[in-house]
Structure 1
Amino acid sequence: MSVALTKRSLVELAVERMRERILQGDWQVGQRLPTEPELAQALGISRNTVREAMRVLAFSGLVEIRQGDGSYLRAVQDPLLAVQAMSRCTPEQARETRHILETEAIGLAALRRTDADLKALREALEGSAGHFHGDIDAYVTCDLVFHQRLVDAAHNPALSELYRYFSGVVAAALQHNMTTVPRCQSTFDLHGEILDAIEQRDAERAKRLSRTLIES
């Protein structure tokens, strides 16, 4: 047990040191990081510990590991911390954030969507339709795909990435609503109406329907 704890503490120490170097600006986003042997020597730890630390950093979104090509710095701020902060927000704070993020993205999607976006949205909506009155977990999974594709149709990578991090909060809200409030077909039908508004490039209607859906 003590060996496992020691190994874990060494990995945590390595992660902390690498995060410090990232925050200090030792490496730039997109830059290839030093090799495992180089990092091991610089940090005074074993290659195995470096390898485990890199996996932790990759999981948190700071580092991208490319097989056969090394590791690259993906972000300076730790996305995992943002996700943890989002998970602590209240239901009201979650609604406010959805109004700001999702509704505005859907308005842009109505103006920028492509035929490929519409096809992907229809497929996602068909996938969730069969689960609305059935298994909650299956429905939430499918519904998140639909909502992510709505945001993706705005063709703004920053919005898409933000919503991807925020989707855990959306999932929790959906789970809560579907277990505490009777399921209403008209609520699900709003998804189709939003899609229709996007197809017709009616941004204001799409945003209005999105607000109604968030509040339902």
Structure 2
Amino acid sequence: MTLSTSHRQPLADEITAKLREMIHSGEWPLHQRIPAEPELMAGLGVSRGTLREAIKALAHGGMLEVRRGDGTYVRATSEMSGAARRMYQDHTEEHILEVRLGLDTTAARLAARNATADDVTSLRAALAARDVAWNAEDYEGWARADWEFHERVAQASANPLLHELYVSFGGVFHQELLKQQRRGRLDGLTYEGHGELVEAIEARDADAAVASVNRNLNSCAEWLRA
């Protein structure tokens, strides 16, 4: 007698995938509380045990945060982003900057090879938004626009995995920028690694693009040591 083997995904895994998609799609916004257990159980047609197993898996992955007596909140939009947030708490600013150096130089070199005219236009738009926000003392907007610029450089690299890494680390580096700004003496409109980088990308000069990134991040390192 041959027993049939079911390849059906375990129910808890299916529910985990559904909840993950709700977060990733923005249906459940970042930092907001998700619906209460009874509502989710009814909507998904599952038991409390299955739901809690799915929530526990996403909490372990860093996407959800369970707050006793308050509810469950969206902490990150992907497991990679959640892991980045956890790692950020355990490492120094110097370590973070060293990671930036590796990521930014790779993104700059690839963007100089692969960027389109639309990419260059998008980069200039992000820098314009950054400048407006800084001059208006809108530092949240400044940090958001500054990191959006770097995400767009990664997108222009034509390496989707690299771009995904930038998106995942976005929350970490956004908070790091704000921390630096609050210390004072920070030049929020640096030309190196930004305007200079765009010019190198537009000229398809990979060496100049990497050199621009190095100047910018070395300057940041000196500022941190001061």
- TM-score class, shorter-chain normalisation, is 0.5 to 0.7
Q: Give how far 1:81 is off.
A: 3.2
Deviation of the 1:175 alpha carbon: 1.3
- Residue type of the alignment partner of 2:119: D
3-state SS, counterpart of residue 131 of structure 1 = helix
Give the Cα–Cα distance (whole angstroms) in 2 for the partners of residues 163 and 198 of structure 1. 18
How far, CA to CA, are the matches of 2:13 and 2:168 in structure 1?
33
Match of 2:184 in 1: 181
1:134-149 pair list within 5 angstroms: 134-149=137-152
Letter in 2 for 1:50: T
Is the contact between residue 95 and residue 215 of structure 1 (CA under 8 Å) also seen in structure 2?
Answer: no
Q: Give unmatched runs, 5+ long, in structure 2.
A: 1-6, 16-45, 64-77, 220-226
1:1-216 alignment to 2 at 5 Å?
33-35=9-11, 47-51=47-51, 53-54=53-54, 57=57, 60=61, 78-79=79-80, 80-133=82-135, 134-184=137-187, 187-190=189-192, 191-216=194-219
Q: Deviations over 1:66-106 (max 9, x none)?
A: xxxxxxxxxxx953334312332101101110111112111
Asked if the contact 1:36–1:47 (Cα under 8 Å) also holds between the matched residues in 2, the reply is: no
The Cα shift of 1:128 comes to 1.3
**Corresponding residue pairs, total:** 165
Deviation at 1:57, TM superposition (A): 4.7
Q: Distance in 2 between matches of 1:199 and 1:120?
A: 12
Residue 129 of structure 2 aligns with an amino acid whose one-letter code is G
Task: Give the direction of change, closer, same or farther, for the CA distance of 1:152–1:56 in structure 2 (3 Å limit).
Answer: farther
Which structure has greater helix proportion?
1
8 Å CA contact 1:94, 1:169 repeated in 2 = no
TM-score by length of 2: 0.62
Alpha-carbon distance in structure 1 between the residues aligned to 2:85 and 2:179: 19
- Map Cα deviations across residues 39-89 of structure 1 (whole Å, 9 max, x no partner): 8xxxxxx53443454456567488xxxxxxxxxxxxxx9533343123321
1:120 CA displacement: 1.7
Give the alignment's Cα RMSD to 1 decimal.
Answer: 3.0
Relative to the length of structure 1, the TM-score reads 0.65
